[in-house]
Amino acid sequence: MPNYKSNHNGSGRARSGLISLGFFVLSVVTLYLPDSSQDEVASLLRGSLLRPFILAQEGLVRRSIHAEDTEDLQRQLDSLEVVIANSNTLAEENDRLRRLLTLSNRNPAQYVAASVIRSGTPGSESMFMLDVGTRSGVTRDSPVIMGRGLLGVVREAQANSATAMDWTHPQFAVSAMTVDGAVYGIARATPGRFREADRLLLNGVPFRQELGPGVSLVTSGLGGVYPRGIPIGVVIEESAAEEGWQRSYWLQPFVSPGEATHANVLVPDDGEPRDVSAWLEGGPTLPGRAPAPDEGAAGTRDTEAPTSR
């Protein structure tokens, strides 16, 4: 450290003080900028000065994905082949029933595969970036899904990248229901003592309806952001935080944000609205739990929405 030199004259010191005061005021203004302006500034910086670092991480993530254990990937591929083989019969049966009911075919949901990139800087704990953007059809509010369930939702989409929040974000909320559609509620992120202890809390369940531990919940499709039927999590226990004639339940989400390196983004098909009930159609959708035959039938029945004839 150089020895102290008081080479400030009075006017220089005053000017420096004014400059620092100006930056202090500017920092306070930054804190209270509208969300849209904050997003613009952040995306401008991510797309310019910080772009090389993000590109480097994208490259590293791709390399690590390519280096995955091939035996593990082979096992997943084998499992998927079995699921597809089993689904063929169901799809055929579904087509026949649709014809009998004179229902039109529904458009399948479209997905875009994306690499998940986390910045690892303070304050960015619940957000991640995706290496796909509007050119791939990703828009604001596109749901982000991992193999086992809902990971989050896109907050902002640029041409070739997007910013998304996972379910641990305090502003995250999703309308949830049981697989048979009998019980509805709103699942919100609830911070734990540590980030690893973050969970979802299902609110708004009528007092007369009880959910036991182990009941799986999926998205209900209400609100139009998340398609119906994406697995969310499983009920752990009832929460003590009851409000009036309502019950609350702690959920253990199926997807842990920390393990996300690769995800699928659900995109609208050529501007057409998404098929919001395609998720529950034809086969098991919930991780680690195949639906019982009657439950599967009920689930399919509940998700059927008449379309134009």
CB of 170 to other proteins, least distance (A): 6
CB of 165 to other proteins, least distance (A): 6
- Binding residues for other proteins, rule: CB under 8 A, are 1-5, 7-8, 12, 15-20, 22-24, 26-28, 30-33, 38, 41-42, 45-46, 49-50, 53-54, 56-57, 60-61, 117-127, 155, 163, 165, 169-170, 191, 193-194
- Between 16 and 70, name the residue whose CB sits nearer to other proteins: 16
- Between 23 and 207, name the residue whose CB sits nearer to other proteins: 23
Contacts of 180 (CB under 8 A, 6+ apart): 295, 298, 299, 302
Query: Do strands 110-117 and 127-130 pair parallel, antiparallel, or not at all (unpaired)?
Result: antiparallel
- Between 206 and 258, name the residue whose CB sits nearer to other proteins: 258
- Between 138 and 286, name the residue whose CB sits nearer to other proteins: 138
CB of 154 to other proteins, least distance (A): 12
- Between 2 and 10, name the residue whose CB sits nearer to other proteins: 2
Structure tokens at 246: 């309502």
CB of 21 to other proteins, least distance (A): 8
Burial class of 219 by CB neighbour count within 10 A (0 to 12, 13 to 18, 19+): buried
CA gap 94, 227 in Å, rounded:
20
- Between 176 and 189, name the residue whose CB sits nearer to other proteins: 189
75, amino acid identity: R
68, amino acid identity: E
CB of 132 to other proteins, least distance (A): 18
CB of 14 to other proteins, least distance (A): 10
Closest Cα partner for 146 from 55, 258, 67, 69?
258
Per-residue b/e over 147-167, b at no fewer than 16 CB within 10 Å?
ebbbbbbbbbbeeebbbbbbb
| Beta carbons of 107 and 275 less than 8 angstroms apart | yes
